[in-house]
């Protein structure tokens, strides 16, 4: 456990600024006195792009590499054409820093609103592959804009990439009480990638006899997310299916305002990046209405990744206690929620 | 409206046999006396494959073309490797008969179980593209089974294919009271296909000023399916996103036992095919436990497609009335539900 934490901060757009401020507040409050926190803010996102046309210059990419971890708020604004910041900044970071484990825990905390009747017991984590699949940017468009246009998207999957994320998921499943791992894919239609995923999953699984395994097609998985979410413990899946499933998971566990995520490079070769699953929500930006809890829970994932397990748990316990006391009365501001959590983790 | 109906029937595997029998029972009961119903059964599916190694021989494909429509039960069995029957039979039919409109209505009938608290008002239809996208079978595997394997899946999208399904969806939206059409894609990541879909959607939309339009990323759409499903009227989307969304839609509207679908060729160049969204459910096959309602609602879609609107409505009304009276008491058998609906539509 390092006694200094050299953090890159990318507040980004919209509510990104506000929620990151609360994340840092709670981080400062929870860190032991002797851990020196240094932060450097990076001005990246929609405003920067409008001003300079840049999404992520090489110099900044190099500089980001020097940090222990990255905390990101949210990226995106309707004024920027769809895809520019996603591909040029967010995904560029995930790919450049080889964030092959996109970690997304879903837990239904007591007293939080779920659209599901009967409040099932939900506590699972999705290990979403982060560097392959349909997210590679492979593909193209021929005769663009004409009636004869052909557009392709190529999902690229390698045994190297699949095995490392599957192995990571088995390790996580092994460390949890229920020790269950579900592979989600669509191997009855996407037979090339799907069979490779399934074969590797089965082979690696032989090294983990204590882990119970299951396979579901992605369409069936969405059904179980709403009818029987308690059946899941750890899920491993491809980049696009993971994107879809984790938004649905967030929706059934109290909403996107609580969903944390980590873009993790488990080898430590590059800094890992932690961000809420939600977007920049420009419609409520600057009004103190955003719930910073997802960012604060992302800070917990960040601390755990860097070996500060005690502090991670302290944040998660504080969030659980805070949510348990939310009475649905007057809504608190972004700042008030951050303050309340900072007090709890320090106390 | 033709005064004869020459129907191909593919009962298929597992519960397929049982539910199709009820579909035909209700069809016979609802058809006007002067419409002559002729059916021809095709022995296709897992048993046939085990016996002969065939999935869909050319001769049978040719023969199927001679019918006015196809009624299919369910295809698939765990004893057949994943993908063999899906690609070799189900998808082969959809592609060979150019079923570019995969029509999947979702309606929350009164008195049916939904996992959603608060029973939102759900009544939308998904127009899923059926002949392109990641379902084309393009792609491959290099160095299969080795640590150096690379597997690709290519999503192929053409302006031709996208425009015709988008146009069909606008027509359907225009004909409905709320006149709203939502495009679902992922154009911030899948920029080639996504931008083509969005551009065509916007261009065609100009011809339909009375239709309100909306765009959602697929991940966000899944959130709204559980938090705000009443916002949807007609949805148009690609083949894979449509697969995922319609299973989720079925789950929130009373389960996969009620979800009907049509694989439609609107030009009439080839017969359209109607089938429940559910699979062959081998675990409950042969026990009279399967709910045939999804198949019977698929028969309604079939009748509507062939111009028998009155009869289609009569089936849908019968199902609504039947569901309203289901009291959660003793479960009825497959046969009993079919009988009850046959009586209602005849009466
Ligand atoms: C913004 C977008 C590129 C991103 C993704 O698709 O991964 C987001 O939806 C997420 O889940 O982090
Ligand atoms: C069985 C499978 C090939 C099929 C699909 O993916 O289209 C099914 O899930 C469906 O939705 O009809």
CATH numbers and ranges of domains, chain A: 1-99+259-347 (3.40.718.10), 114-253 (3.40.718.10)
Q: Is the pLDDT of residue B41 over 80?
A: yes
Distance from CA of B344 to the nearest CA of A (A): 31
Counting Cα atoms < 13 Å in the Cβ hemisphere of A130 gives 28
Q: Which atom of ligand 2 is nearest to the CA of B277?
A: 12
What percent of chain A is helix, strand and coil (3-state, nearest 5)?
Answer: 45, 20, 35
CA distance A209 to A255: 35
- Which of A86, A104, A155, when mutated, tests ligand 1's pocket best, judged by the most ligand atoms within 8 Å of its CB? A86
Q: A109: helix, coil or strand?
A: coil
Residue A189 Cβ contacting ligand 2 at under 6 Å:
yes
| Average pLDDT score, chain B | 96
Q: Is the pLDDT of residue B245 over 90?
A: yes
Using CA atoms, how far residue A206 sits from A12, A174, A200, B79, in Å, is: 43, 13, 10, 22
Q: Please indicate if any CB of chain B lies within 8 Å of the CB of A139.
A: yes
pLDDT tier, B256 (very low <50, low <70, confident <90, very high otherwise)? confident
Contact criterion met (CB < 8 Å) for B116 and A116? yes
Which member of B135, B168, B233, B322 is catalytic? B135
pLDDT tier, B72 (very low <50, low <70, confident <90, very high otherwise)? very high
Considering only CB atoms, A219 lies closest to which of B116, B151, B247, namely B247
- Close Cβ partners of A177 (under 8 Å, ≥ 6 residues apart): none
Q: Is the pLDDT of residue B88 over 70?
A: yes
Beta bridge partners of A142: A150
Q: State mean pLDDT over B88-99.
A: 98
| Average pLDDT score, chain A | 96
Distance from CA of B307 to the nearest CA of A (A): 31
Which residue owns the Cα nearest ligand 2 atom 5?
B243
Counting Cα atoms < 13 Å in the Cβ hemisphere of A230 gives 5
Q: How many CB atoms lie within 10 A of CB A143?
A: 12
CA distance A195 to A175: 27
Beta bridge partners of B72: B10
Percent of chain A with pLDDT over 90: 94
Tokens of A142: 């021929």
Q: Please indicate if any CB of chain A lies within 8 Å of the CB of B278.
A: no
Contact criterion met (CB < 8 Å) for A226 and B146? no
Ligand nearest to the CA of A74: 1
Q: Is the pLDDT of residue B327 over 80?
A: no
Q: State mean pLDDT over B74-92.
A: 96
What is residue A45's DSSP assignment?
S
What is residue B3's DSSP assignment?
S
Asked whether the beta carbons of A70 and A272 are under 8 A apart, the reply is yes
Q: State mean pLDDT over B102-129.
A: 94
Q: Is the pLDDT of residue B1 over 80?
A: no
Dihedrals φ, ψ of A254, to 5°?
A: 100, 0
Q: Please indicate if any CB of chain B lies within 8 Å of the CB of A136.
A: no
Tokens of B318: 């019968």
Q: Is the pLDDT of residue A32 over 90?
A: yes
Distance from residue A243's CA to the centre of ligand 1 (Å): 6
CA distance B301 to B318: 14
Using CA atoms, how far residue B109 sits from B176, B254, B325, B342, in Å, is: 18, 8, 11, 19
CB burial readout B312-322, b (16+ within 10 A) else e? bebbbebbbeb
In angstroms and rounded to an integer, the radius of gyration of the C-alpha atoms of chain B is 20
Q: Which atom of ligand 2 is nearest to the CA of B90?
A: 3
Q: Is the pLDDT of residue A328 over 70?
A: no
Q: A235: helix, coil or strand?
A: strand
Q: Please indicate if any CB of chain A lies within 8 Å of the CB of B339.
A: no
Which member of A13, A77, A168, A243 is catalytic? A243
Q: Is the pLDDT of residue A168 over 70?
A: yes
Numbers of helices and strands, H then E, in chain A: 12, 12
Active site includes B238?
no
pLDDT tier, B329 (very low <50, low <70, confident <90, very high otherwise)? low
Q: What is the helix (H) or strand (E) element at residue B141, kind and residue range?
A: strand B139-142
CA distance A296 to A342: 10
How big is chain B, counted in residues?
347
Mutation for testing the B interface, residue in A147, A218, A222 having most B CBs under 10 Å: A222
pLDDT tier, A9 (very low <50, low <70, confident <90, very high otherwise)? very high
Distance from residue A183's CA to the centre of ligand 1 (Å): 20
Cα torsion at A162, A164, A169, A172 (round to 10°)? 180
Positive or negative: CA dihedral A18, A22, A27, A29:
positive
Q: Is the pLDDT of residue A278 over 70?
A: yes
Q: State mean pLDDT over B16-30.
A: 98
In chain A, residues with a C-beta closer than 8 Å to the C-beta of B130 are none
Tokens of A184: 């989600």
pLDDT tier, A329 (very low <50, low <70, confident <90, very high otherwise)? low
């Amino acid at each position: 456990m390092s006694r200094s934490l050299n953090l890159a901060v990318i507040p980004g757009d919209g509510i990104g600024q506000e929620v990151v401020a609360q994340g840092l507040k709670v981080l400062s409050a929870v860190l032991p006195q002797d851990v020196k926190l240094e932060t450097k803010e990076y001005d990246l996102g929609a405003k920067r792009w409008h001003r300079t046309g840049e999404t992520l210059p090489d110099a900044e990419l190099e500089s980001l590499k020097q940090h222990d971890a990255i905390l990101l708020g949210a990226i995106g604004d309707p004024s920027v054409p769809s895809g520019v910041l996603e591909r040029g900044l967010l995904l560029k970071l995930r790919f450049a820093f080889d964030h092959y484990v996109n970690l997304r825990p879903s837990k239904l905390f007591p007293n939080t609103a779920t659209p599901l009747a009967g409040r099932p017991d939900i506590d699972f984590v999705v290990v979403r592959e982060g560097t392959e699949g349909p997210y590679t940017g492979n593909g193209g468009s021929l005769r663009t804009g004409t009636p004869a246009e052909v557009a392709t998207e190529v999902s690229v999957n390698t045994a190297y990439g699949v095995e490392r994320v599957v192995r990571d998921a088995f390790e996580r499943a092994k460390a949890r009480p229920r020790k269950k791992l579900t592979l989600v894919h669509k191997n009855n239609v996407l037979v090339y990638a799907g069979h490779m995923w399934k074969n590797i999953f089965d082979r690696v699984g032989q090294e983990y006899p204590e882990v119970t395994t299951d396979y579901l097609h992605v369409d069936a998985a969405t059904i179980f997310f709403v009818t029987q979410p308690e059946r899941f413990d750890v899920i491993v899946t491809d980049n696009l299916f993971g994107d879809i499933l984790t938004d649905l998971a967030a929706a059934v566990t109290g909403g996107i305002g609580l969903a944390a995520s980590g873009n993790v490079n488990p080898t430590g070769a590059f800094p890992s990046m932690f961000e809420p699953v939600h977007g920049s929500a420009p419609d409520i930006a600057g009004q103190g209405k955003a719930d910073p809890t997802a960012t604060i829970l992302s800070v917990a994932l960040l601390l755990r990744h860097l070996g500060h397990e005690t502090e991670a748990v302290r944040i998660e316990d504080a969030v659980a206690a805070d949510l348990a006391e939310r009475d649905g009365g007057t809504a608190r501001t972004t700042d008030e929620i951050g303050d309340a959590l900072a007090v709890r983790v320090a106390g």
